[in-house]
Amino acid sequence: YLNRACYNETATLTLHTLSKHIAKLLPVLRDVITDSKLPEEEIDIYRQSMKQRLKMSLRKSDFVAGRLIDAYLYGEAHPYGKYSSEADFDALQRKELVEFYQQYYRDGKLVMFAAGRLPQNLEQLLNEFFGDLPNNDRTAPDRSLVAAAEKKVRIINDENGVQGSIRIARPFPNRHHPDFQKTQVLNAVFGGFFGSRLMLNIREEKGYTYGIHSYLQNHINHSAWMIGTEAGREVSEATIEEVYKEMKDLREELIDEEELLLVRNYMIGGILGELDGPFQIIARWKNIVLNGMDESYFYNSINTIKTVTAEELQALAQKYLNPEDFYELVVI
């Protein structure tokens, strides 16, 4: 099984196979990286398919909200805030794709990860098929953020819509910032799992939504603290008020030890679950490497979960959970 994916800073090719077939499949993988033809007729099919998919997606409030909130946070010209339009697909030229492919795939930086039941000669095979490839650093220069001036936006995407897609977000430092790991614990308390305060209040008590979550975006250069949910049109504003109420409680009151213990156990249990098997382990290791960190980050994160205090979390809430710092978007 060969899969591919593309993200803001990285593109990945993932091969799953039996060990006995690796030697036969690695040359195929090399051809994908170095000798893809990108025929014009396939680009035409892709162009029409993506335009149709985009047209359908733009009718959905959650899709529109997800695009717009990033544009507000980072600016429409920033890679994190820029999204494709129908005009972009119409303007797509094979020559541009070929140049991009040559620069970033064939001649770009290549990092390889392997996990599972690996053959003893895997390193030899990787060197044989990929060792002669250039490994040029194609890291794009960090671009300055140009965030939107207006922080509260309401959009009617469907006059007859009965649901509001709510996104509340603020800029946040990346994983290298000393506050990041402790804030992940605070985020878990706030809205990071099913037993979080946002879920207990807005889903369980108020019944405004089936689910509401908060998280720190996984970008390399910049990040954001995001709260997202879909709520009934008539209760969207009330939902936002309750989000800010939970922020206020975290700023003004210490998290009690019982709740903090619950969150510690949840987060440690989640890490153990994510390390259940070689593929899960390599996925976590890949995230660490691609973010420019080493194994100490992993061990520090566990220590942070175990030792961060309620006072430290309150100080972080006072620093980062202030409504005036958040962009607020509702798309009906």
Profile the chain (332 residues) by mean pLDDT over runs of 10 residues. 88 92 94 93 95 95 96 92 92 94 92 93 94 85 84 95 96 94 98 96 95 94 95 96 98 97 96 89 91 91 97 98 97 96
Cα separation, 85 vs 12, whole angstroms? 24
Which domains does the chain carry?
2-130 (3.30.830.10), 158-331 (3.30.830.10)
* pTM exceeding 0.85: yes
Q: Which residues contact 3 (CB under 8 A, 6 or more apart)?
A: 13, 14, 16
Cα separation, 199 vs 180, whole angstroms? 22
pLDDT score at 145? 83
How far apart, in Å, are the Cα atoms of 120 and each of 27, 30, 92, 283? 18, 20, 44, 21
Cα separation, 316 vs 258, whole angstroms? 19
| DSSP letters spanning 144-175 | PP---S--EEEE-S-TT--EEEEEEEEEE--T
pLDDT score at 225? 98
Beta strands across the sheet bearing 223-232: 152-155, 327-331, 163-172, 223-232, 209-216
Please state whether beta strands 327-331 and 152-155 pair in parallel, antiparallel, or not at all (unpaired).
parallel
| DSSP letters spanning 6-49 | E-SS-EEEEE---GGGHHHHHHHHHHHHH-----HHHHHHHHHH
